[in-house]
Amino acid sequence: MAGNEFRPWRPGLWRFAFPRMSHGVAAGITDRSCDVEGLRMRLAAPAGLAFAAQPHGASVAALEVPRAPADPLPGCDGLTTRTPGLALIIRSADCLPIVFWDPIQRVVGLIHAGWRGLTAQLPLRALSLLRHVYHSDPAHLWIGIGPAIRPCCYGVGREFLPRFGRFVSTRRGRRVCDLIGYATQQLLAGGVPRAQVVDSGRCTACEPARWYSVRREGEGSGRLLSFVMIRP
């Protein structure tokens, strides 16, 4: 659908732009040139920035009260809010940053989905929270999947076969896994229309000048900052 895309926005920031989202929220991800303070200045979030602790689990929390950036919400890999001006933030460097936007209930969400979170059905858990806490209809949601590691670069072991099934394949003699495909399958199974799932198409491991990648750089890699905020 025309207008659904992922593109440069401001210096250091990339944004998702789909119908009814651009005017109601800000959502996107930083590149290597933007840190937390740079994001704070460029995003101008009057209610502050809120971070998840990201233990590589499958918990999502509804948050309406601002928290200090140095005090991430413990135990969760995802956040939701309906509070205008409160920017939800997650860090990633290969794992999937996934944005949720409900233009009917005016609710946003953001999750950090690594392979562990995906096997624990984190995208479906986020949909369940949005449905039960905010009465969101999955058919009304818009989803953005940010830069993450792709099958071109994500080599895995045999143990991934029973976990990811058909999303594990062999390319050029190497076993690889399609995390984006697996996440998208969960979102569609949860009732989100395919046309409303917008994938950035960017591989973190393929573009070293733009994105951080733990697979390419090791655990000492920096982290990208994904964000979503309802405009005040």
Q: For 97-106, what is each residue's pLDDT tens digit?
A: 999 999 999 9
CB atoms < 10 A from the CB of 1, how many?
A: 9
Q: For 108-132, what is each residue's pLDDT tens digit?
A: 999 999 999 999 999 999 999 999 9
pLDDT at res. 132: 98
Distances (CA, A) of 20 to 16, 129, 182, 219: 11, 22, 26, 37
Distances (CA, A) of 13 to 46, 152, 187: 18, 24, 25
Q: For 202-226, what is each residue's pLDDT tens digit?
A: 999 999 999 999 999 999 999 999 9
pLDDT at res. 66: 78
Give all domains of the chain, ordered by start, each with its CATH number: 5-230 (3.60.140.10)
User: Is the model's pLDDT at 1 over the cut of 60?
Assistant: no
- What is the identity of the amino acid at 136? S
Q: For 47-78, what is each residue's pLDDT tens digit?
A: 999 999 999 999 999 999 877 767 899 999 99
Q: Cα-flanking dihedrals φ and ψ of residue 187, to 5°? A: -65, -40
* Sign for the pseudo-dihedral over CA of 47, 192, 12, 75: positive
Pick from 27, 23, 36, 35: which is nearest to 7 by CA? 27
CA distance 124 to 127: 5
Q: For 170-203, what is each residue's pLDDT tens digit?
A: 998 999 999 999 999 999 999 999 999 999 999 9
pTM of the model: 0.95
